[in-house]
A and B are shown apart, each in its own frame.
Chain A
Amino acid sequence: MDLNIFKHTGRFLILISIQVVILNHIYFGGYITPHIYPLFILLLPFDVKGWVLLVAAFFSGLGVDMFSDSMGMHASASLFMAFMRPTIIRLISVKTDFDQGAEPRIENNGLGWILLYTVLLLFIHHMALFVIEVFRFDEIPQILFRALLSTAFSLLIIMIAHLLMAKPAGSRT
């Protein structure tokens, strides 16, 4: 608890700043924007309290919304992602008892697990985001297409962030 709250608040501010100042201005192929801010929710510890998870997700989305004139859309999408997080973790994990305060990171869970975990949750996030934005069922194929492409780009950026954060094995405090 003690120092962790500062660590997570700092991460929250840094990721949202990167999102709104840099990534929101990138449009691959006209409309594909990578998202890095879901990494904040992906990195919360395994034993985080349910309400902390949901409230944190809500505010991280709202923070991005404030800068994108998309009031509520990112909040709703990241909330949905946070809601699905415990289920996804249970589905893809073999062992379910994690160390106290452990975070989902490459050195804790291995590259393969992190990749699967990130792909699934990012796809849920992007799908929710585009469904809410378009709000029409006759455009489902385009939504799916956009969600897949955006997930791929976001995944690339988030995995780079993961690799940058990974400490060499054995040096963990």
Chain B
Amino acid sequence: MRNLFYFIARHYFFFLFLSLQAVAFALIFQNHFYQRSAFINSANYLTGNVYGTRSDIAQYFNLRSINEELARDNNALLENIPGSYLKTDQHIFFFNDTLHRKQFSYINARVINNSVRNRNNYITLNKGRKHGIKPDMGVITPQGVIGIVKEVSANFSAVISFLHSDMQLSAKIKKNNHLGSILWEGYNHEKATMMYIPPHVQLETGDTIVTSGFSHIFPEGIFLGTISDYEIRRGDNFFTIEVELANDFNNLNFVHVVTNLYQSELIELEAAAKQK
């Protein structure tokens, strides 16, 4: 026994290295499985405030492009108000705006921390529990899907970016409603991969990919991107489609957090159906 202690004491540099390395790996794997300790992530008070201040300053340099973006959004909204529709009859047909059947509501927020260069990327927003954000809400911009809220603190929320290895969304091709999955394979934050489209489907580059609305998180028809290339890989039964993402993930400012007002009802119903 004394020899063992002697041995450890003599090589303490190596053993200390091993034990600290074990701590580091424990942290990595804990993080990997999302049981992230509440006080050590960027939704935490200290880091949230540092990033909040930084983004307050950095934002002045982006005001021009933000203004352009807001003007564009306003345009898109103006096109959708009843006043911009031609009244042919005495009626305006709006089958989805009856207020009592509203399914999605939106909270706007600002991105205060973001990355695109890691294999698994996270985004921090400047709003949290206080403002009504809860885990599992979707995050979008008018250009497309950004991610899903993972954790919230009182004032901030941490979002798993679409650029994350565990992120896979249900998507469809807009023109023919064929359903597939879209995911990010890493390296290039402008490209994603869509899978499980059977080979009989007619594809063309430039076809639009939108969300399917089957996930309870995102509304149907949120823009994801356009097809830039497609092939059937050897031995595969499905197309592998390269999608050019519409969002510039490297330049995110204002986002909308989506609340599905019927989310819990849908989940309960489907869980009940599976049990039978």
B8 in the interface (beta carbon within 8 A): no
A33 in the interface (beta carbon within 8 A): yes
Q: Which residues of chain B come closer than 8 Å to A69, judged between CB atoms?
A: 41-42, 113, 115, 122, 158
- Evaluate contact between A67 and B50: CB separation under 8 angstroms: yes
- A82 to B26: give the CA distance in the assembly, Å: 19
- A67 to B46: give the CA distance in the assembly, Å: 9
- What 0/1 pattern do residues 48 to 67 of A give for CB contact below 8 A with B? 00110011001001000111
- A54 to B15: give the CA distance in the assembly, Å: 11
- Evaluate contact between B30 and A30: CB separation under 8 angstroms: no
B214 in the interface (beta carbon within 8 A): no
Asked, given contacts A27-B117, A83-B17, whether A75 binds B50 with beta carbons under 8 Å apart, the answer is: no
Q: Which residues of chain B come closer than 8 Å to A79, judged between CB atoms?
A: 17, 20-21, 24
- A32 to B122: give the CA distance in the assembly, Å: 17
B119 in the interface (beta carbon within 8 A): yes
Residues of A contacting B: mostly? helix
Q: Which residues of chain A come closer than 8 Å to B40, judged between CB atoms?
A: 66, 71
- Evaluate contact between A61 and B16: CB separation under 8 angstroms: no
Q: Which residues of chain B come closer than 8 Å to A51, judged between CB atoms?
A: 12-13, 16
Which residues in window 124-157 of A have CB below 8 A to B?
132-134, 142
Asked, given contacts A66-B47, A72-B27, whether A30 binds B12 with beta carbons under 8 Å apart, the answer is: no
- What 0/1 pattern do residues 15 to 33 of A give for CB contact below 8 A with B? 0000011001101001111
B187 to chain A, nearest CB (A): 7
- A51 to B14: give the CA distance in the assembly, Å: 10
B237 in the interface (beta carbon within 8 A): no
B118 to chain A, nearest CB (A): 6
A68 in the interface (beta carbon within 8 A): yes
- Evaluate contact between A58 and B24: CB separation under 8 angstroms: yes
Q: Which residues of chain B come closer than 8 Å to A134, judged between CB atoms?
A: 119, 186
A9 in the interface (beta carbon within 8 A): no
- Evaluate contact between B27 and A71: CB separation under 8 angstroms: yes
- Evaluate contact between A61 and B24: CB separation under 8 angstroms: yes
A133 to chain B, nearest CB (A): 6
- Evaluate contact between A70 and B118: CB separation under 8 angstroms: yes
Which residues in window 2-29 of B have CB below 8 A to A?
12-14, 16-17, 20-21, 23-28
- Evaluate contact between A30 and B116: CB separation under 8 angstroms: yes
- A71 to B58: give the CA distance in the assembly, Å: 25
Q: Which residues of chain A come closer than 8 Å to B21, judged between CB atoms?
A: 76, 79-80
- A5 to B16: give the CA distance in the assembly, Å: 21
- A82 to B46: give the CA distance in the assembly, Å: 27
Q: Which residues of chain A come closer than 8 Å to B51, judged between CB atoms?
A: 67
- A70 to B26: give the CA distance in the assembly, Å: 12
Among A24, A27, A76, A86, the residue within 8 A (CB) of B24 is A76
- What 0/1 pattern do residues 195 to 206 of B give for CB contact below 8 A with A? 000000000000
B127 in the interface (beta carbon within 8 A): no
B177 to chain A, nearest CB (A): 33
User: Given known contacts A54-B17, A71-B30, A71-B36, what 6 new A-B pairs fall within 8 Å (CB)?
Assistant: A31-B117, A54-B13, A71-B27, A71-B31, A76-B28, A83-B14
8 contacts between A and B (CB under 8 A): A27-B116, A31-B187, A58-B23, A70-B118, A72-B28, A75-B20, A76-B25, A79-B20
